Structure 1
Amino acid sequence: LQGRLWWLASLSCTVLLFSPFVTPHPADPDKGRRKVVHVLEDDSGAVIVQTAPGKVVTHRGGTITLPCRFHHEPENVDPARIRIKWTKVTDAFQFEDVFVALGRQQRAFGPYRGRVDLEQAGVGDASVIIHNVTLQDYGRYECEVTNDMEDDTGFVSLDLEGVVFPYYPRLGRYKLNYHDAEESCKQQDAILASHAQLHKAWLEGLDWCNAGWLEDGSVQYPISHPRDQCGRKDTPAGVRNYGYRHKEDERYDAFCFTSKLNGQVYFLKRFKKVSYPEALKACQRDGSAMAKVGQLYAAWKFQLLDRCEAGWVEDGSVRYPIVNPRARCGGSEPGVRNLGFPDKKFRLYGVYCFRKDSPDPECVSTTGPECFGGGGGRGGAISSFMTQHRDGW
Structure 2
Amino acid sequence: MCGGRLSLSSMLCIFSMVMLLHSVFCADSDRSQRKIVHVTEGETGEVIVQTAPGVVTTHRGGTIILPCRYHYEHSGEEPAPVRIKWSKISEPASFTDVFVALGKEMRDFGPYKNRVSLQEHDPGDASLIVRNVTLADYGRYECEVTNELEDDTGTVKLDLEGVIFPYYPRLGRYHMNFHDAQKACKQQDGILASYDQLHEAWLNGLDWCNAGWLQDGSVQYPISKPREECGKKETPIGVRNYGYRHKEDERYDAFCFTSNLNGIVGLSAK
Structure 1 contact 64–130 (Cα < 8 Å) conserved: yes
Aligned mates of 2:47, 2:77 — CA distance in 1: 11
State the Cα deviation string for residues 175-200 of structure 1 (Å, max 9, x = none).
00011111111111100000000000
Determine whether 1:81 maps to 2:81. Answer: yes
Q: Secondary structure at the match of 2:185?
A: helix
The residue that corresponds to 2:199 in the other structure is 199
State the Cα deviation string for residues 259-280 of structure 1 (Å, max 9, x = none).
114xx4xxxxxxxxxxxxxxxx
The residue that corresponds to 2:269 in the other structure is 388
Aligned mates of 1:52, 1:221 — CA distance in 2: 32
Aligned mates of 2:173, 2:34 — CA distance in 1: 39
Aligned mates of 1:240, 1:197 — CA distance in 2: 14
- Letter of the 2:149 partner, please give it: M
Aligned mates of 1:387, 1:77 — CA distance in 2: 67
Structure 1 contact 37–153 (Cα < 8 Å) conserved: no
Compute the displacement of 1:169 (Å).
1.0
Compute the displacement of 1:43 (Å).
3.8
Mean Cα displacement is larger for which, 140-149 or 67-76? 67-76
State the Cα deviation string for residues 320-373 of structure 1 (Å, max 9, x = none).
x5xxxxxxxxxxxxxx2xxxxxxxxxxxxxxxxxxxxxxxxxxxxxxxxxxxxx
Q: Secondary structure at the match of 2:84?
A: strand
Compute the displacement of 1:117 (Å).
0.6
Compute the displacement of 1:75 (Å).
6.8
Mean Cα displacement is larger for which, 41-50 or 111-120? 41-50
Q: Which residues in structure 2 correspond to 1:121-140 (within 5 Å)? A: 121-140=121-140
The residue that corresponds to 2:48 in the other structure is 48
- Taking structure 2 as the reference length, the TM-score comes to 0.83
Q: Which residues in structure 2 correspond to 1:68-217 (within 5 Å)? A: 68-74=68-74, 78=78, 81-217=81-217
Aligned mates of 1:109, 1:124 — CA distance in 2: 23
The residue that corresponds to 1:318 in the other structure is none
Classify 1:139/1:41 alpha carbon distance in 2 versus 1 (closer, same or farther; 3 Å): same
Compute the displacement of 1:46 (Å).
1.3
State the Cα deviation string for residues 268-298 of structure 1 (Å, max 9, x = none).
xxxxxxxxxxxxxxxxxxxxxxxxxxxxxxx
Aligned mates of 2:138, 2:78 — CA distance in 1: 34
- Percent of residue pairs identical: 68
Q: Secondary structure at the match of 2:258?
A: strand
Aligned mates of 1:33, 1:202 — CA distance in 2: 39
Q: Secondary structure at the match of 1:81?
A: coil
Aligned mates of 2:159, 2:131 — CA distance in 1: 14
Q: Which residues in structure 2 correspond to 1:250-329 (within 5 Å)? A: 250-261=250-261, 264=262, 299-300=263-264
Q: Which residues in structure 2 correspond to 1:313-352 (within 5 Å)? A: 336=266
- Taking structure 1 as the reference length, the TM-score comes to 0.58
Determine whether 1:223 maps to 2:228. Answer: no
The residue that corresponds to 1:3 in the other structure is none
- Moved >3 Å (runs of 4+): 32-38, 75-80
- Letter of the 1:159 partner, please give it: D
Q: Secondary structure at the match of 2:88?
A: strand
Q: Root-mean-square deviation (CA), in Å? A: 2.0
- Letter of the 1:259 partner, please give it: S
The residue that corresponds to 1:60 in the other structure is 60
- Letter of the 1:210 partner, please give it: N
Classify 1:78/1:188 alpha carbon distance in 2 versus 1 (closer, same or farther; 3 Å): farther
Structure 1 contact 36–154 (Cα < 8 Å) conserved: no
Structure 2 contact 85–145 (Cα < 8 Å) conserved: yes
Aligned mates of 1:69, 1:144 — CA distance in 2: 10
Question: RCO greater where, 1 or 2, for CA within 8 Å and sep 6 or more?
Answer: 2
- Letter of the 2:225 partner, please give it: H
Structure 2 contact 44–75 (Cα < 8 Å) conserved: no
Aligned mates of 2:82, 2:211 — CA distance in 1: 48
The residue that corresponds to 2:241 in the other structure is 241
Q: Secondary structure at the match of 1:387?
A: coil
**Which sections of structure 1, spanning at least 5 residues, go unmatched?**
1-31, 265-298, 301-320, 322-335, 337-385
> How many residues matched?
239
Compute the displacement of 1:34 (Å).
9.0
Classify 1:211/1:44 alpha carbon distance in 2 versus 1 (closer, same or farther; 3 Å): same
Structure 1 contact 217–244 (Cα < 8 Å) conserved: yes
Which protein is bigger by CA-based radius of gyration? 1
Classify 1:211/1:79 alpha carbon distance in 2 versus 1 (closer, same or farther; 3 Å): farther
- Letter of the 2:268 partner, please give it: T
Aligned mates of 1:153, 1:226 — CA distance in 2: 43
Structure 1 contact 33–93 (Cα < 8 Å) conserved: no
Aligned mates of 1:185, 1:34 — CA distance in 2: 36
Aligned mates of 1:132, 1:52 — CA distance in 2: 22
